[in-house]
Amino acid sequence: MANSVVTKVDPFTLDIVKDSLVAIGEEMFYALARTSMSPIIYEVLDYASGLTDAKGQLLTQGNGVTGFIGMLSFMVRETLERYNKAGDLKPGDIFLINDPYGGGGSHLCDVGLVMPIFYKGELIAFSANKAHWTEVGGKDAGSMSTDSTEIYQEGLQFPCVKIYDEGKLNQAVVEIIRANVRFPDLSLGDLWAQVAALKTGERRVQELCDKYSKEIVVNSINHLLDHGEQLALKSLRELPKGTYEAVDYIDDDGIEEGPFRVQVKVEITDNEFICDFRGSHPQVTGSINSTLTGLVSAVRTIYLAVTNPSQDVNDGSFRPLKVLTDEGSIFNAARPAPVSMYWESMLFGSDLIWKALAPVVPNRLSAGHFLSVCVAILSGKHQDTDERFLIVEPSVGGWGGDAGKDGASAQFCILDGETFNIPVEVCETRNGVLVDEYSLNIDGAGAGEFRGGNGVVRSYRSLTDNQVFTASFGRHKFKPWGANEGKDGSINYFEFIKASGEVAGPFGKYNQYPLNKNDVTRLVTGTGGGYGSPLKRAVEKVVSDVKNEYITIEQAKNDYGVTLDPETLKVLELSKDRQ
Amino acid sequence: MRVATDIGGTFTDLVYVDQHGKIGVAKSHTTPPNFEKGVLDVIGVSGIDTAQLDTFIHGTTVIINALTERKGVKTGLITTKGFRDVLEISRGNRPDLFNIQYEKPAPFVPRYLRQEVEERLNYKGEIIQKLHKDRIQEIVKYFKKEGVEAIAVSFLHSYSNPVHEIETVQLIKELWPEVAVTASHEVTREWREYERTSTTVLNSYVKPIASSYVDRLERELSNVGNDSNKYIMQSNGGTTTFEQSKQTPINMVESGPVAGIYGSAILGKIIGEDNIIAFDIGGTTAKCSLIDSGEVKVTTEYNIERTERTAGYPIKVPVVDIVEIGNGGGSIAWIDDGGSLRVGPQSAGALPGPIAYGKGGTEPTTTDANLVVGRLSPKNFDNQVDMENVKTTINEKIAKKFNTTVDEAALGIIRIANSNMLNALKLISVRKGYDPRDFALVAFGGGGSMHAPALAKELGVRKVIVPVATSVFSAWGMLMTDLRHDYIQTYIRRVEGINYDELNEILARQESEAVEQYAGEGVKEEHVLFSRFVDLRYLGQEHTVKVPVPNGKITKEGMNEVIQKFHELHQQLYTFKLEEAPTEIVNLHLIAFGSVQKPELAKLENIGGTLEDSLKEVRPVLYENHGWIDTKVYNRTLLNPDAKLSGPVIVEEQSASTVVYPGQKVTVDAYGNLIIEAEV
């Protein structure tokens, strides 16, 4: 009976309602950014929000970062599994969830909220969001450690508990949070912002039902999912069919020496995109383990990049995608493995596929990039207010060149996205530091017909004693890869230049390094891989690179085969290889 | 007589109002790259006596064109040591999340022209390293050698204390008087070094272009005997003198479009509507802006070339808060890979234009769809419209794919276009906590009045106003503007424990700066009106809420009222308030209006005749939910004040058509505006 109603709805109405659903996702997204209390949300946009259907299939997702692309629907499905009896879910309920092993996905700092949406007593959709809280407690400020060995050290776990029961706030949970986190105002401020955004989603979906009827909205939901699948299948047909493989190594885990071998086999058929990570390293002692949800997000990201990067995303788009992995592996860790620096392995989920497909999908992919979130965590007291400050920020770095242009310099890694660095002027106002330098890392790496983009140098001078610094900069031992005869990029690292002049480092990971007044922490991110042989780079570009000091006159000669007059930059000679 | 000229993509519009309040309009082709010629042309066409002019107001696209076409001058940048790459690092964001080949916008100043000088202030504006003046000399020498034509100076924390920027500019002017220079504090006093540097660089980049344009225009005008007061429309909705416009031309970046928004606010005041949604549909885009209690909203979060897929370039000057989407009369209807109908953002533009123009257009557009459903008449086109071709194309490209009739497909195009525009209208109203029922929609531009009645119904707006001269309404808005300068100072202070003496001193300084600037522009102090705001937030938040502050000295009690207002506004905009949370000031914002004498608007003359005399024809028009209805079409120029019409009805005028739905009612008001009661 319902089906006969479907066919009578004209196609344009379905499209209009479909577009309205997407617009709701966007509205929820911006509502959260504008009301958040934490810089990591409002500047870094380290959050996602969206709608799923009643079964937990993603309908629309507003993303600040790519890394959450798999996570909302897993949270909703976990909620459906845990509360599976009639009457378990009621209007006004909101669930709190961050358990990486139970629908949460990433690490404990990423806190999710799920709200069932009812229309006239019937469950029709879910509103969900997930945001990086500055603090969820645990052994270290910022709730991320490079030396944790169990998840219990990494903060509070919310195993899908009701924070609102039929609209009534569970004050006990709020008090537990308040007592267990270091910056309760920030974390609870984010919680309220997330709740407000969820309610916006609920209200808008109900209004849509009022206007068009529940049946049309539900039909549009199916239409939306089918539309996503159609787009995905069409792009799949355009990809080269076959099996492609790649292998790489993760540095270490902050405790064990490493490296850890990881691998992928990608099989592309007319209607499937299968990524097989079986055979990769087992889970490790330190905090770089990824859960299955994390891996799926990483795979989805690169899958979208090679199929159709500019579409509105929903679960229909992912129907052709399959991910295979061993349980208990570094990509699919089991409780109670620590996961706070999960991106150091999760990112390899993207990068391995990227590397495997780069030679066959040159129109969509590039050489390798600096591949780490490069999170820096610095805490201490402000020199004027004596208040505690906490910097938790990802870093920008170099991207790889591609078949048509140089790689981007100073851009956040693939797991981030609409992520913004913290302005120096804002940083110095809030925190007890002076930024000595924020400039491009000119190291000449990533030579190619199309150069790898540059990483950056950002230096923090501590202005008070007793500050502590923690960071995880992956790709510290294995460089970003060059493609199609382009040269490799350079590694990420950080070092400390003490007031005494003594230098400590370089490091890729460090937990709680002590800093005093006038000690400088120097963060350096790598240059991306080059694409194509440097000898094919246009001569005038090489001249311009020297003039702009992206490369030295020696590199022009040695890497690019172009000898220049140091004064006038006139071309004196081209190398034999070039001719 | 006051005259406004507005340069658009295709036409340069002119609207004048004489001493009796009578309005006249003229149109002429835009003449790139010598835009001043088009201005002189349109003055000629209008037949006005240039000697009678006492005020000339101008809106121009010269600045935005120079930016988007990269036609500015070679610009050098001087920054604090350690920060030359700020312009290239930018904010590191990648809006096109899943695009590995995302192309980061290239900086306007290449690396070799970004030079560093030793100097440093801390966040409080205290000097921790003195300016190394010898280095400036070296840089100037180097810039000369490299053929630089303009210099931008941007130092860290200069919003807090511009001392080093001032010294640097002085030095440059001594060393190289003829070079164009901009220091960041001259264009914005807000924090965030990348955004401020970007703004400064773009100002320098267009400064010589603006000077030469404004000078040429001034010369041409005096050649035809015009010695009126001359003003240029700025992006903040007010005007400034020709002289000032050459100093900070970046303030003209949205010179034209904002005038229609401002005009909507003025029109609202005249006819007693304080809450307005201004809505402008042109050939390629639709723009809208919300006016709350007569207050045009201004923001400094403006960007050029920013889309959902690319970051663009920030310009941190006050710009009327406009939401713009790629949906206009020329927007192309197409079917995406998933089989859904879409309209825009691709546009057929002026050339080839819609199929109906007969200039080689092959893609169906919104205009073509409006023709098929009878909302536009082929008789009102300059050319002979080949309706068969229009219908065949819509049938081939759209209708067949959906297995529908041509009529349904054409209506589908209009509905999708309306849905896109509705989302933009919701974005500025419902989603910001406003109830559309409290607002009237002012519709203008070539397509505004055609779509507005349908959108008002969907949005729940009770009234649509189609102003006189609706297709040249932006120029009309310019006629009604005052001079305006904005002074925004970043001033980070917690409200609790704030030093009121210091606060009042800074506010007083802003006001005296404004009085001084106006004195230089020939505006007496008694004509300067102040409007003050603070940008407030809860401590720890990033985004701020603009809260009005009464004039005069601020006391603790006065501040308490401001904070109360802040809680209310926060609740309205973001659905919650935190009355216990500490609050923080981020910016002090002073708006100084230099009010000028404006003519009283004349009322519409009754030209006699009956309603039947203004009836042009009856033609079938297709309405969603109603089907084809024989609809009366009236000639707007023959309608008398107080004329009343009932929908379905169409009112046509030169280059615009107002489509009124069944159940809606139209009245011609005393000034000749069409007032449509939208709610059924």
pLDDT digits (tens, 9 = 90+) for B16-61: 998 888 888 888 888 888 899 999 999 999 999 888 888 999 999 8
Question: In the predicted model, is pLDDT for residue B236 greater than 80?
Answer: yes
Residue of B83, B84, B88, B93 best to disrupt the A interface, most CBs of A under 10 A = B93
Q: Which of B83, B338, B574 sits opposite A439 (nearest CB)?
A: B83
Residue whose tokens read 């009612």: B665
Q: Which of B110, B408, B540 sits opposite A186 (nearest CB)?
A: B540
Please state the length of chain B: 680
Domain of B97, CATH number, reads 3.40.50
Q: Rounded to an integer, what distance in angstroms lies between the CA atom of residue A314 and that of residue A336?
A: 31
Q: What is the dihedral of CA A552, A553, A557, A563, to 10 degrees?
A: 160
So where are chain A's domains? Answer: 2-227, 366-537
| B193 chain-A contacts, CB cut-off 8 A | 423-425
Residue of A9, A15, A548 best to disrupt the B interface, most CBs of B under 10 A = A15
| B427 chain-A contacts, CB cut-off 8 A | 27
Identify whether residues B135 and B235 lie together within a single domain.
no
Q: Which of B85, B101, B112 sits opposite A547 (nearest CB)?
A: B112
Identify whether residues B225 and B163 lie together within a single domain.
no
Arithmetic mean of pLDDT over chain B: 93
Question: In the predicted model, is pLDDT for residue A39 greater than 70?
Answer: no
Contact B76, B113 (CB under 8 A): yes
- pLDDT, average across residues A252-277: 95
Q: Which of B96, B419, B573 sits opposite A309 (nearest CB)?
A: B96
User: What is the pLDDT, as a whole number, of residue A44?
Assistant: 60
Identify whether residues B45 and B96 lie together within a single domain.
no
Contact B31, B37 (CB under 8 A): yes
| B100 chain-A contacts, CB cut-off 8 A | 305, 309, 354, 364-366, 402, 414
Contact A65 B541 (CB under 8 A): no
User: What is the pLDDT, as a whole number, of residue A42?
Assistant: 59
Contact B82 A436 (CB under 8 A): yes
Q: Rounded to an integer, what distance in angstroms lies between the CA atom of residue B101 and that of residue B98?
A: 9
Average the pLDDT over each of A191-200, B447-456, B460-469 and give the range with the smallest value. A191-200
Residue of B81, B90, B98, B407 best to disrupt the A interface, most CBs of A under 10 A = B98
| B416 chain-A contacts, CB cut-off 8 A | 12, 15-16
User: What is the pLDDT, as a whole number, of residue A41?
Assistant: 63
Q: Rounded to an integer, what distance in angstroms lies between the CA atom of residue A132 and that of residue A108?
A: 9
* A358-408 confidence digits (pLDDT tens): 999 999 999 999 999 999 999 999 999 999 998 988 999 999 999 999 999
Contact B90 A410 (CB under 8 A): yes
State the DSSP code for A498.
Answer: -
- The token duo for A106 is 């990433």
| B77 chain-A contacts, CB cut-off 8 A | none
User: What is the pLDDT, as a whole number, of residue A40?
Assistant: 58
Neighbours of B336 (CB within 10 A): 14
Contact B111 A549 (CB under 8 A): yes
Q: Which of A16, A234, A365 sits opposite B415 (nearest CB)?
A: A16
- Rounded to a whole number of angstroms, the distance from the CA of B448 to the nearest CA of chain A is 21
Q: Taking CA atoms, what residue in A is nearest to B109?
A: A548
Does residue B365 fall inside a structural domain?
A: no
Q: Which of B92, B159, B416 sits opposite A16 (nearest CB)?
A: B416
Question: In the predicted model, is pLDDT for residue B680 greater than 70?
Answer: no
Does residue B451 fall inside a structural domain?
A: no
Name the 3-class secondary structure at A223: helix
- Where is B584: in which H helix or E strand? strand B583-594
Contact A196 B575 (CB under 8 A): yes
If you count residue pairs, one on A and one on B, with CB atoms under 8 Å apart, how many are there? 204
Q: Taking CA atoms, what residue in A is nearest to B578?
A: A189
- What ipTM describes this predicted complex? 0.93
Q: Rounded to an integer, what distance in angstroms lies between the CA atom of residue B152 and that of residue B45?
A: 41
Average the pLDDT over each of A1-15, B128-142, B459-473, B508-522 and give the range with the smallest value. A1-15
Contact A420 B91 (CB under 8 A): yes
Does residue B196 fall inside a structural domain?
A: yes
Identify whether residues B39 and B50 lie together within a single domain.
yes
Measured in degrees and rounded to the nearest 5, phi and psi for residue A52 equal -125, 170
Identify whether residues B157 and B205 lie together within a single domain.
yes
User: What is the pLDDT, as a whole number, of residue A273?
Assistant: 97
Q: Rounded to an integer, what distance in angstroms lies between the CA atom of residue A97 and that of residue A24?
A: 22
Q: What is the dihedral of CA B155, B159, A412, B201, to 10 degrees?
A: -60
Q: Which of B101, B110, B341 sits opposite A548 (nearest CB)?
A: B110
User: What is the pLDDT, as a whole number, of residue A9?
Assistant: 66
Does residue B163 fall inside a structural domain?
A: yes
Residue of B89, B96, B97, B430 best to disrupt the A interface, most CBs of A under 10 A = B97
Which DSSP string corresponds to A420-457? -PPPHHHHHHHSSEEEEEEEEE----S-SSBPPPPEEE
Contact A236, A268 (CB under 8 A): yes
| A7 chain-B contacts, CB cut-off 8 A | none
Question: In the predicted model, is pLDDT for residue B576 greater than 60?
Answer: yes
Longest dimension (CA), chain A: 83
Name the 3-class secondary structure at B169: helix
User: What is the pLDDT, as a whole number, of residue A36?
Assistant: 66
Identify whether residues B122 and B230 lie together within a single domain.
no
Contact A227 B100 (CB under 8 A): no
- Rounded to a whole number of angstroms, the distance from the CA of B10 to the nearest CA of chain A is 32
- Rounded to a whole number of angstroms, the distance from the CA of A68 to the nearest CA of chain B is 12
Nearest Cα neighbor of B665 from B674, B677, B650 is B677
- Rounded to a whole number of angstroms, the distance from the CA of A434 to the nearest CA of chain B is 8
SS3 for B540-575 is CCCCCEEEEECCCCCCHHHHHHHHHHHHHHHHHHHC
Contact B193 A423 (CB under 8 A): yes
The percentage of chain B sitting over the pLDDT mark of 90, rounded to a whole number, equals: 76
Contact A11 B194 (CB under 8 A): no
User: What is the pLDDT, as a whole number, of residue A8?
Assistant: 53
Identify whether residues B85 and B146 lie together within a single domain.
yes
Strand partners, A57: none
Contact A418 B540 (CB under 8 A): no
Contact A10 B408 (CB under 8 A): yes
Cis peptide bond upstream of A394, omega within 30? no
Average the pLDDT over each of B160-169, B467-476, B528-537 and give the range with the smallest value. B467-476
- Rounded to a whole number of angstroms, the distance from the CA of B330 to the nearest CA of chain A is 20
- The token duo for B292 is 């709350």
User: What is the pLDDT, as a whole number, of residue B98?
Assistant: 92
Identify whether residues B188 and B217 lie together within a single domain.
no
| A230 chain-B contacts, CB cut-off 8 A | 337-339
- Rounded to a whole number of angstroms, the distance from the CA of B49 to the nearest CA of chain A is 52
- The token duo for A264 is 């992928």
* A64-93 confidence digits (pLDDT tens): 788 888 789 999 999 999 999 999 999 999
Contacts of A406 (CB under 8 A, 6+ apart): A450, A451, A452, A453
Contact A421 B92 (CB under 8 A): yes
Q: Rounded to an integer, what distance in angstroms lies between the CA atom of residue A443 and that of residue A551?
A: 8
- Rounded to a whole number of angstroms, the distance from the CA of B38 to the nearest CA of chain A is 40
Q: Taking CA atoms, what residue in B is nearest to A183?
A: B540
- pLDDT, average across residues A298-312: 88
Identify whether residues B151 and B92 lie together within a single domain.
yes
User: What is the pLDDT, as a whole number, of residue B286?
Assistant: 92
Contact B98 A426 (CB under 8 A): no
- pLDDT, average across residues A159-181: 96
* Separation of first and last alpha carbons in chain A: 74
Q: Rounded to an integer, what distance in angstroms lies between the CA atom of residue B428 and that of residue B426?
A: 5
Contact B86 A438 (CB under 8 A): yes
Q: Rounded to an integer, what distance in angstroms lies between the CA atom of residue A484 and that of residue A414?
A: 21
Q: Which of A10, A230, A418 sits opposite B94 (nearest CB)?
A: A418
Average the pLDDT over each of A293-297, A432-436, A451-455, B578-582 and give the range with the smallest value. B578-582
Arithmetic mean of pLDDT over chain A: 92
The percentage of chain A sitting over the pLDDT mark of 70, rounded to a whole number, equals: 96
The percentage of chain A sitting over the pLDDT mark of 90, rounded to a whole number, equals: 77
- Where is B247: in which H helix or E strand? helix B242-247
- Rounded to a whole number of angstroms, the distance from the CA of A427 to the nearest CA of chain B is 9
Q: Rounded to an integer, what distance in angstroms lies between the CA atom of residue A549 and that of residue A543?
A: 10
pLDDT higher at B469 or B638: B638
Q: Rounded to an integer, what distance in angstroms lies between the CA atom of residue A106 and that of residue A69?
A: 11
Longest dimension (CA), chain B: 81
pLDDT higher at B326 or B79: B79
Contacts of B106 (CB under 8 A, 6+ apart): none
Q: Which of B102, B124, B191 sits opposite A426 (nearest CB)?
A: B191
How many distinct structural domains can be found in chain B? 4
- The token duo for A368 is 């390798």
- The token duo for B159 is 């919003």
pLDDT higher at B480 or A545: A545
Measured in degrees and rounded to the nearest 5, phi and psi for residue B311 equal -75, -30
Q: Taking CA atoms, what residue in A is nearest to B539?
A: A37
Name the residue range of residue B586's domain. 483-594
Contact B394, B406 (CB under 8 A): yes
pLDDT higher at A541 or A105: A541
Residue whose tokens read 């030396």: A147
| B84 chain-A contacts, CB cut-off 8 A | 439
User: What is the pLDDT, as a whole number, of residue A2?
Assistant: 33
Strand partners, A332: A329
Average the pLDDT over each of B2-11, B379-388, B476-485 and give the range with the smallest value. B2-11
Contact B423 A23 (CB under 8 A): yes
